[in-house]
Structure 1
Amino acid sequence: MNKALRYAFMAVMLLAMAVATGCAKKVGTDTPTGEGGGYTQADVENARKVQAVLSNKTIYFAFDRYEIKPEGKEALNQSAALIKQFPIVRVLIEGHTDNRGTAEYNLALGERRARAAYEYLVNLGVRPEQLEMVSYGKERPAVEGNNESAWAKNRRCEFRVVFPPIN
């Protein structure tokens, strides 16, 4: 009987905690990294603003390189300042390559590019938990073509707000 009472007590306590932590302002409760916590409509609007700025902050790389160029550093400096203003925002750093080389090599190079941007942002004070990385290698070209002009546009990192959802 004691066991049954303990389980009933635990169930009532869990239910009470769930009710007590509820909040009418919450729009959602899950982040991409599995964290709990909700967000408000203002958070969504701020995320849209951040995305509007970040969509113009693509950084480009030299052939077969992942070092950030001076103009990329300037874009990352501006991005870091913005991301730090909105601690609820989570940003996905997408690493891309041109279509030369093997799929495996390009995935690794895209990851090194995303990692370089990630580390630069963290060194500027962006919290690591606000950032995620992915490499798409050569699978998502910005521009189709097999010439230097197309390749230069495809060797890049792009930034996308993944939380709160802005769709």
Structure 2
Amino acid sequence: MNRRLLSVLAAVALVAACESATEGTATTTGTGATSDAGSGVATVSTPSATPQQEFEQAVGQDRVFFDFDKYAVRVDAKPVLTRWADWMKRHPQYPIVLEGHADERGTREYNLALGEKRANAVKEFLATQGVSSGQVTTLSYGKERPAVPGSNESSWSQNRRSVAVVGGGPTS
């Protein structure tokens, strides 16, 4: 019984695959796929990347990290931030939000203030590289949004960060 059902389903699939559209018509789906029925060849274009994806692809990473209880931009973060600045200057139409984060140690209020200082330190560095201060805003999450859960140095080091979030529209 199962073999017979599979045979019928396979035959239906083959017939459906051989069906053709009217000669010379083109159809477009909502996913960006276009089919030229006259040629029998379908081309699929990928949806365009979001500004955030373009940013991450161009600069390599969307975050920089900080030492414990510090907000000074680390030496290893400067080349990353320079790439951020270059991209931002080429794309002034996109607003950027710099998120400041902290690890779980310390009070909520202390970590919100530390996250704000981290985001502002990154903003100041970007300004020295020629990025318009009007393009960049800051937002602190403190310890409220850890990137990596856990109560150890490995987790904490990944949570002490600033993240660049690229907006989807023109700067107002």
User: Do these two structures clear the TM 0.5 threshold for a shared fold by scoring above it?
Assistant: yes
Q: Say which of 104, 107, 115 aligns to 1:102.
A: 107
- Aligned residue type for 2:88: I
- 2:67 alignment partner, SS class: coil
> Quick check: which one's helix share is greater?
1
Report the TM-score when normalising by structure 1. Answer: 0.68
Matched, 1:144 2:144: no
Task: Give the aligned partner of residue 16 of structure 1.
Answer: none
Higher relative contact order (CA 8 A, sep 6+): 1
Alpha-carbon spacing, 1:73–1:108, altered in 2? closer, same or farther (3 Å)? same
- Aligned residue type for 1:73: K
- Larger CA Rg, structure 1 vs 2: 2
Aligned pairs for 1:1-167 within 5 A: 47=51, 48-53=53-58, 56-164=61-169
Cα distance between partner residues in 2 of 1:55 and 1:107: 27
Q: What is the total number of aligned residue pairs between the two structures?
A: 122
Q: Supply the RMSD in Å over aligned alpha carbons.
A: 1.8
Where structure 2 has 5 or more consecutive residues not aligned to the other structure, the ranges are 1-47
Q: Identity of paired residues, percent?
A: 42
Deviates more, 1:54-63 or 1:110-119: 54-63
CA displacement at 1:145 relative to structure 2? 0.3
Runs of 4+ in 1 over 3 A off after TM superposition: 51-55
CA displacement at 1:53 relative to structure 2? 3.8
> Quick check: which one's strand share is greater?
2
Where structure 1 has 5 or more consecutive residues not aligned to the other structure, the ranges are 1-43
- Aligned residue type for 1:158: V
Cα distance between partner residues in 2 of 1:121 and 1:92: 12
